[in-house]
Amino acid sequence: MFFLLWLFVLGAILYFLLQRTISRITRTPVWLLWLVIMAPALIWGSWILIHGGRTAAPPALTIVPFVICPFLYWLLVQLGRKEITPETAEANSTANSTNAADSPPPKTPLRPINQAEEASLRDCFPWSIYCLRDLEFRPQAVICRGQLRTNPEAAYEAIRKNVEQHFGDRFLVVFQISFSGQPFFAIVANPSHKTAENPVKTESLHRPFLALALLLVTLFTTTFVGSQINGVTEKVLQSNPRALIQGLPYAISLIAILGIHESGHYLAAKFHKIKTTLPYFIPIPFFLGTFGAFIQIRSPIPHRKALFDVSIAGPLAGLIITIPLLIWGLYHSPIVPLSERSGMLNFDSFTPTFSLLMTLLSKLTLGSALNAETAIDLHPVAVAGYLGLIVTAFNLMPVGQLDGGHIAHAMFGQRTSMAIGQVARLCMLLLSFLEPGLLLWAMILFLMPLNDEPALNDVTELNNVRDILGLIAIGLLLAIVLPAPRMLVQWLNV
């Protein structure tokens, strides 16, 4: 039942994402794309519904849909791909306009600039910086192709300043790598540009009352779930409402972890002068008590360095409080005998060997009391810390618009990051055969798109310090996700 509830929630989220993104570039019905991409999860859910989880599904029934459905999804999108017209371009975002730079130009393009302005645009490209070869006019962009003659970062800043001098804030300057591996500029209409005919309404980014209201509701829902984790039943709550207080340690710990994670993103975005909303929590009256927290970025990412900083700030900030809370909770967690029910999803009889980092932290905290014949009855604070570690690992997965996807994009470029994301999804699927508790995780990753929106300057690479931090983030992900080696388990006697 819990699995089917998750399946319903994920299906609804996926349909919303497809409606908001893919429907803009393809005529293929959204319901058909949704059905194809959800097919692996629906097949697995049907097997569980029919057999009640008593027997494992055949490997072919599990693997084949994960291999065929992504290819079929891509094929359906390409078969129904829309031709770029003035009408469809108006609905597309900046990223969609620039990503279409390597597609064939429309038959009757609408010039974003007139012929007189074309000369001014050509003057924005000094031959010593970027030797302009030709211009391609699109409904919402001008693609400027040529040869880069200097440092990418210096070239972008020079071209951007020149465009601003000639056109003000009318355009955004995008710098990307084409499919052929050549850098090109795209002059894209700025959606924030104000004119007398098209005044842009300024939307308030900060809604403190909404953020506070969601925080208070989430505090209640997580406290309710925390009381259940602490052994308080609904009958006890009805007779003694004060027993709800027993869920506060879990609630406060989890909210602190999620809140500091999102605050890391928020502060990094502010540092790079990126417009963003306050962190908003998502309360739910079941499961963990919350679906997490999020911020919405409302302005383009200026460059890959900013993309990296904003993405990695959340996981690193969250770990600062997650690790101490987890160690404190483990220290106050009693040891129980190992049983058949013990596992990574059983908080009353928890075994940490599925994760290298969890194994090391558990053994470091509990010492000889934790051995191969025992498990851990997790304290509510330890549950929150453990969930914080799982949230960190999930966000660090190098897939799509997760933090790890942004980090991979910033480190290796957009195209390479998509290939890395596909490999990561397949590896997680294979890992789920060793640890069935990771199967839902693998399914969620396959429901997520691989593409990530480019930064305005998507060519300039990171410096050595950021590359090292990125490698540390990858190592942290592997330490959380990969199981402890058998030799280490035997040596630690866990």
pLDDT for position 98? 44
- For the chain, report the end-to-end CA distance as a whole number of angstroms: 32
Q: Spell out the residues 6+ positions from residue 363 whose beta carbon is closer than 8 angstroms to its own.
A: 370, 492, 494
- CA angle at 470 for the pair 93 and 461, rounded to the nearest 5°: 55
Q: Spell out the residues 6+ positions from residue 182 whose beta carbon is closer than 8 angstroms to its own.
A: 145
Among residues 410, 216, 387, 215, the alpha carbon closest in space to that of 313 is found at 410
pLDDT for position 93? 38
- For 430-465, b where at least 16 C-beta lie within 10 A, e where not — what string? ebbeebeebbbbbbbbbbbbbbbbbbbbbbbebeee
Domain ranges in the chain are 2-79, 101-189, 208-492
pLDDT for position 372? 87
Cα-Cα-Cα-Cα torsion 448, 312, 274, 260, nearest 10 degrees, comes to: 100
pTM: 0.79
Rg (CA), the chain: 25
Number of H helices, E strands in the chain: 18, 8
- SS3 label, residue 181: coil
- For 312-351, b where at least 16 C-beta lie within 10 A, e where not — what string? bbbbbbbbebbbebbbbbbeebeeeeeeeebbbebbebbb
The pair of three-digit structure tokens given for residue 155, joined into one six-digit string: 């070239």
pLDDT for position 30? 80
Taking the C-alpha atoms of residue 146 and residue 228, their distance in angstroms, rounded to an integer, is 63
Phi, psi of 55 (to 5 degrees): -125, 145
Taking the C-alpha atoms of residue 288 and residue 226, their distance in angstroms, rounded to an integer, is 8
pLDDT for position 108? 40
Among residues 297, 482, 278, 481, the alpha carbon closest in space to that of 406 is found at 297
Taking the C-alpha atoms of residue 78 and residue 31, their distance in angstroms, rounded to an integer, is 16
130, 155 contact by CB (below 8 A): yes
Question: pLDDT tens, 117-175?
Answer: 888 899 999 999 999 999 988 877 889 999 999 999 999 999 999 999 988 888 899 99
- CA angle at 408 for the pair 323 and 455, rounded to the nearest 5°: 115
Which helix (H) or strand (E) covers residue 135, if one does? strand 130-137
* Architecture, CATH, for domain 101-189: 2-Layer Sandwich (3.30)
Taking the C-alpha atoms of residue 267 and residue 269, their distance in angstroms, rounded to an integer, is 5
pLDDT for position 468? 95
Question: pLDDT tens, 275-321?
Answer: 999 999 989 877 788 988 889 888 899 999 999 999 999 999 999 99
206, 278 contact by CB (below 8 A): yes
Per-residue pLDDT of the chain in tens (494 residues, 90 and over written 9): 455 565 666 677 667 666 766 666 677 888 787 788 777 777 766 766 666 555 666 666 666 776 677 778 777 877 776 543 333 333 343 444 444 444 444 444 456 777 778 888 999 999 999 999 999 888 778 899 999 999 999 999 999 999 999 888 888 999 998 877 889 999 988 877 666 555 555 556 678 899 999 999 999 999 999 998 888 887 888 788 888 899 999 999 999 999 999 999 999 999 999 999 999 998 987 778 898 888 988 889 999 999 999 999 999 999 999 999 999 999 999 999 988 888 888 889 999 988 999 999 999 999 988 988 999 999 999 999 999 999 999 999 999 889 999 999 999 998 889 889 989 988 888 888 777 777 777 777 877 777 778 899 999 889 999 999 999 999 999 999 998 888 888 888 87
Q: Is 47 exposed, middle or buried (0-12, 13-18, 19+ CB in 10 A)?
A: middle
Residue 31 bridge partners (DSSP): none
